[in-house]
C-alpha cells in the first residue's frame, strides 16, 4: 500500500464501484444482509396500513356515522369492514411495524458492526510499524473514531431508510395506479429525473465528503501540534504561526462543508421543483375527474394524500441516498484499514517460516551479508553487513546520525524490509521464525521510557506470571523504594525520568529474555541512577547479550566491545581501549 498524501490525496476519493462496497459491508456484517427482506416487508406493511387508513377514514365519513359499512366491491374481497375497530387494528399494525424496525435495526443494529471494527483495529495493530511514521496521527485517529463511528451507526440507518423510502414509494405508486392509472403516469418522468439527479450529485457529494473527512484529519493533526508543541512554540515566541496553521486547516475543512451543503441543496431544489410540478398535474387531473363524476371524493382525497406523500418520500429518499453514498465512501476508508497487509507480507526476502518449539533460543547473534531498508523502494541503510556477537557480550554501537544504529536494532525486531542476507541466533534464522516468537527474544530499554496507566505491578508483569516476591527483590536490587500497588499515570508522568528508566530495566530483568537492547538509557539520568544501572548490567544481566546504542564515553567504557557504524557499514570494531581513543564527540551521534 503506497504512502498517502497529507490530506487530500486519498484513495478513498474514488466514487466508482460504490455498490461493491455496499455488498462487502453486507457480507462483513451478516445481520444486515439477513435484515434486508424484513425491512422491506415491515415498511410495506406500514405503508399499506397508512394508505388503507386514509381510504377507510374517507369511507367511514361517507357512511354518515354508521357503525359499520362495507368497502367498495373491488376491495371487499379482503374481508375488511369500515369500522372503528378495523381502523384501530390498522393503526396498531402500522405503529408496531415502525417500532419493530426502530428497535431491531436502529437501536440494536449498530452493535452488529462491532466485529468489523475489531478486525479494523487488529489489522492496524498487525501492520508494519513504519505505517505510523508515514501517516499523520490525525488521519489515523479520524479513521478509528469518526469514520468508524459513521459506518457503525449511520450506514445501517441509511440502508434502512433507503429501503423503507423505496418500498413506500412503489407501494404508493401501486395504490395510485389501482385508483386511476392516469394519475400514476406522470410519476414516471419524475422518477427518471430523480434518478438522473441522484446519479450525478451523489458521486460528487461523496467526493466532497471524502475531502471534508481528510481535511478534518488535518484539523486533528494540527490540534496534536498545539497540544504537544505549544510549550516549544511559546518559548520561541512562535504561537501566532502555529495558531494560523490550525485556523487554515479549520477553514479548509469548513470550505468542503459549505460546498457539500451547496451541492446538496441544489440537487434537492430540482427534486422539489419536479415533485411540485407532479403534484400540480395530479391535482388538476383529480379535480377534473371529480367534477365530471369519474372519481369519488374519497378516492380523490386518497390519491391527493398519496401524491403529497410521494413528494415527502422523494425528499427523504434523496437525503438517505446521498448519506448512504457518503457513508459507503467512508466505509471504503474503513476497509482500507481492514485490508492493511500484515507486516510479514512486506518484510522482503526472508526464508519461509518454520515451526519450532516456543523455547527461547540462546547462542551467538550473527548477521550474514544482511541488507535492509525501511521500504522496498527506499535506499538501503545496511548493506551486506556481516557481524557476530558472542552470547553474553556487552556491545556498544556508535556512529553519527544516520549511520545505521537504530536500523540494526529495528532489524532485530523485524520492522524493516530485507533485501538479502540473514540474522541468526546460533544456527536458527530469526527471519524464519513466527514474528511474535522472534521478537520474544529481545527486551528493550528505550531512551524515552514509557509506562502504562495502572499499578507498578501491572507495568512490571504485564501478563501476571510472577508473584510479588521476585518483583520486590528486583526493585530492591535497583534501589527503587516504590510499592507494587502504587498507581501510575499514562506514560508514568507522576514519576521522575530516572524512576521510569529503572522500572523499564526491572521489566527487562523479570522478562528473562536473552537479548537486551538499550538506547542510551542513562543519557538523561543522574549519576546515582547511572551507577545503579551499570551495576545491574554487570550483575542481574551478566548472562544476557546486551546491545547499547551509546552516546556517552562513560557508557562505552563499561562495554566489552565497541562497534562503529558509518553509512550502514562497520568501520571500527574492537575493545574500548582500542576504539575509544579514535572516537570524537561527533562520531558518538
Q: What pLDDT, on a 0 to 100 scale, did the predictor assign at position 523?
A: 66
Give the span between the Cα atoms of 318 and 326, in whole angstroms.
12
In the structure grid, which three cell numbers stand for residue 350, read together?
526472508
First-last CA distance in the chain: 33
Query: H/E element holding 65?
Result: none
* pLDDT at res. 67: 46
Let me know: does 387 contact 563? Beta carbons within 8 Å.
yes
Q: How confident is the model at residue 80 (pLDDT cuts 50, 70, 90)?
A: very low
pLDDT at 391: 93
Distance, CA of 413 to CA of 371 (rounded, Å): 15
DSSP secondary structure letter of residue 295: S
83 has a pLDDT exceeding 70: no
Binned at pLDDT 50, 70 and 90, residue 61 comes out as low
| 5 pLDDT higher than 50 | no
Residue 347 to residue 444: CA distance in whole angstroms: 21
- Higher per-residue confidence, 232 vs 468: 468
The answer to whether residue 400 scores a pLDDT higher than 60 is: yes
Average pLDDT over residues 271-299: 77
Rounded to whole angstroms, the Cα distance separating 290 from 295 reads 5
Q: Which of 42-56, 71-85, 413-427, 451-465 is predicted least confidently?
A: 71-85
pLDDT at 555: 75
More confident: 393 or 163: 393
Which pLDDT does position 45 carry in this prediction?
A: 78
Give the whole-angstrom CA distance, residue 206 versus residue 327: 8
* Domain ranges across the chain: 11-32+111-343, 394-405+435-588
Tell me the pLDDT tens digit for each residue of 544-583.
Answer: 999 998 877 777 888 899 999 998 999 999 998 888 888 7
Highest mean pLDDT range out of 207-216, 294-303, 447-456? Answer: 447-456
Domains 11-32+111-343 and 394-405+435-588 fall in the same CATH topology = no
pTM of this prediction exceeds 0.75? no
Distance between alpha carbon 536 and the CA centroid of its chain, in Å?
42
Q: What's the pLDDT tens digit per position in 178-237?
A: 766 766 777 778 778 877 887 777 777 777 777 777 777 777 766 666 666 667 777 777
| Of 228, 229, 209, residue with least CA distance to 217 | 209
**Residue 1 — very low, low, confident or very high, per pLDDT cuts 50/70/90?**
very low
Non-local CB neighbours of 331 within 8 Å, separated by 6+ positions: 21, 22, 24, 25, 151, 155
Q: Which CATH class is domain 11-32+111-343?
A: mainly alpha
Would you state the pLDDT for residue 551?
Answer: 74
pLDDT at residue 478 is higher than 50: yes
pLDDT value at position 63? 61
Average per-residue pLDDT for the chain: 80
Q: What's the pLDDT score for residue 9?
A: 44
Q: What is the pLDDT of residue 387?
A: 94
What does the pLDDT read at residue 225?
A: 66
Banded model confidence at residue 401, pLDDT cuts 50, 70, 90: confident
60-64, 143-147, 204-208, 231-235: which is most confident: 143-147
Strand order in the sheet with 569-574: 442-445, 515-519, 545-549, 394-398, 561-566, 569-574
Q: What is the pLDDT of residue 564?
A: 92
Whether the pLDDT of residue 161 is over 60: the answer is yes
Closest among 514, 503, 512, 533 to 466, alpha carbons compared:
512
- What's the CATH number for 394-405+435-588? 3.40.50.300
The pLDDT confidence band at residue 489, using thresholds 50, 70 and 90, is confident
Q: Percentage of residues in the chain with pLDDT exceeding 90? A: 19
Amino acid at each position: 500500500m503506497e504512502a498517502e498524501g497529507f490530506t487530500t490525496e486519498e484513495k478513498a476519493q474514488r466514487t466508482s464501484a460504490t455498490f461493491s462496497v455496499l455488498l462487502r459491508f453486507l457480507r462483513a456484517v451478516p445481520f444486515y444482509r439477513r435484515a434486508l427482506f424484513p425491512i422491506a416487508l415491515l415498511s410495506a406493511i406500514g405503508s399499506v396500513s397508512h394508505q388503507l387508513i386514509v381510504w377507510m377514514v374517507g369511507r367511514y365519513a361517507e357512511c354518515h356515522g354508521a357503525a359499520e359499512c362495507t368497502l367498495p366491491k373491488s376491495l371487499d374481497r379482503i374481508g375488511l369492514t369500515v369500522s372503528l375497530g378495523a381502523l384501530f387494528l390498522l393503526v396498531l399494525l402500522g405503529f408496531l411495524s415502525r417500532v419493530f424496525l426502530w428497535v431491531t435495526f436502529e437501536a440494536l443494529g449498530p452493535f452488529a458492526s462491532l466485529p468489523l471494527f475489531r478486525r479494523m483495529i487488529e489489522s492496524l495493530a498487525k501492520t508494519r510499524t513504519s505505517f505510523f511514521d508515514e501517516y499523520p496521527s490525525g488521519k489515523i485517529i479520524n479513521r478509528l473514531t469518526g469514520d468508524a463511528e459513521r459506518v457503525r451507526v449511520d450506514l445501517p440507518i441509511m440502508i434502512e431508510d433507503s429501503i423503507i423510502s423505496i418500498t413506500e414509494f412503489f407501494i404508493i405508486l401501486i395504490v395510485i395506479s389501482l385508483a386511476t392509472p392516469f394519475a400514476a403516469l406522470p410519476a414516471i418522468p419524475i422518477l427518471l429525473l430523480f434518478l438522473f439527479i441522484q446519479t450525478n450529485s451523489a458521486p460528487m457529494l461523496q467526493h466532497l465528503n471524502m475531502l471534508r473527512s481528510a481535511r478534518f484529519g488535518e484539523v486533528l493533526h494540527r490540534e496534536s501540534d498545539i497540544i504537544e508543541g505549544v510549550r516549544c512554540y511559546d518559548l520561541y515566541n512562535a504561537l501566532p504561526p502555529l495558531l494560523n496553521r490550525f485556523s487554515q486547516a479549520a477553514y479548509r475543512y469548513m470550505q468542503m462543508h459549505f460546498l457539500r451543503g451547496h451541492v446538496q441543496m441544489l440537487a434537492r431544489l430540482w427534486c422539489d421543483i419536479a415533485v411540485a410540478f407532479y403534484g400540480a398535474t395530479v391535482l388538476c387531473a383529480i379535480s377534473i375527474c371529480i367534477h365530471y363524476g369519474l372519481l369519488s371524493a374519497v378516492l380523490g382525497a386518497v390519491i391527493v394524500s398519496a401524491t403529497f406523500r410521494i413528494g415527502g418520500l422523494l425528499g427523504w429518499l434523496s437525503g438517505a441516498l446521498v448519506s448512504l453514498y457518503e457513508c459507503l465512501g467512508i466505509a471504503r476508508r474503513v476497509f482500507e484499514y481492514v485490508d492493511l497487509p500484515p507486516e510479514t507480507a512486506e518484510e522482503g526476502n526472508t526464508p519461509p517460516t518454520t515451526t519450532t518449539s516456543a523455547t527461547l533460543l540462546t547462542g551467538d547473534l550473527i548477521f550474514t551479508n544482511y541488507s535492509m531498508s525501511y521500504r522496498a523502494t527506499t535506499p538501503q541503510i545496511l548493506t551486506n553487513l556481516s557481524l557476530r556477537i558472542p552470547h553474553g557480550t556487552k556491545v556498544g554501537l556508535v556512529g553519527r546520525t544516520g549511520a545505521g544504529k537504530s536500523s540494526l536494532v529495528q532489524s532485530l525486531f523485524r520492522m524493516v524490509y530485507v533485501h538479502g542476507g540473514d540474522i541468526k541466533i546460533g544456527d536458527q534464522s530469526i527471519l524464519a521464525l513466527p514474528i511474535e516468537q522472534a521478537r520474544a527474544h529481545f527486551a528493550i530499554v528505550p531512551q524515552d521510557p514509557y509506562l502504562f496507566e495502572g499499578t507498578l505491578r501491572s507495568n512490571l508483569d504485564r501478563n501476571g506470571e510472577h508473584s510479588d516476591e521476585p518483583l520486590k527483590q528486583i526493585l530492591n536490587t535497583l534501589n527503587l523504594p516504590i510499592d507494587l500497588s502504587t498507581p501510575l499515570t499514562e506514560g508514568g508522568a507522576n514519576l521522575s525520568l530516572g524512576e521510569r528508566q529503572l522500572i523499564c530495566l526491572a521489566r527487562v530483568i523479570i522478562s528473562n529474555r536473552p537479548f537486551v537492547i538499550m538506547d542510551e538509557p542513562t543519557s538523561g539520568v543522574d549519576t546515582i541512577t547511572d551507577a545503579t544501572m551499570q551495576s545491574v548490567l554487570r550483575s542481574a544481566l551478566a548472562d544476557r547479550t546486551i546491545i547499547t546504542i551509546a552516546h556517552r564515553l562513560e557508557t562505552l567504557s563499561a562495554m566489552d566491545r565497541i562497534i562503529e557504524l558509518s553509512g550502514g557499514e562497520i568501520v571500527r570494531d574492537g575493545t574500548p581501549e582500542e576504539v575509544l581513543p579514535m572516537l570524537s564527540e561527533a562520531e558518538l551521534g
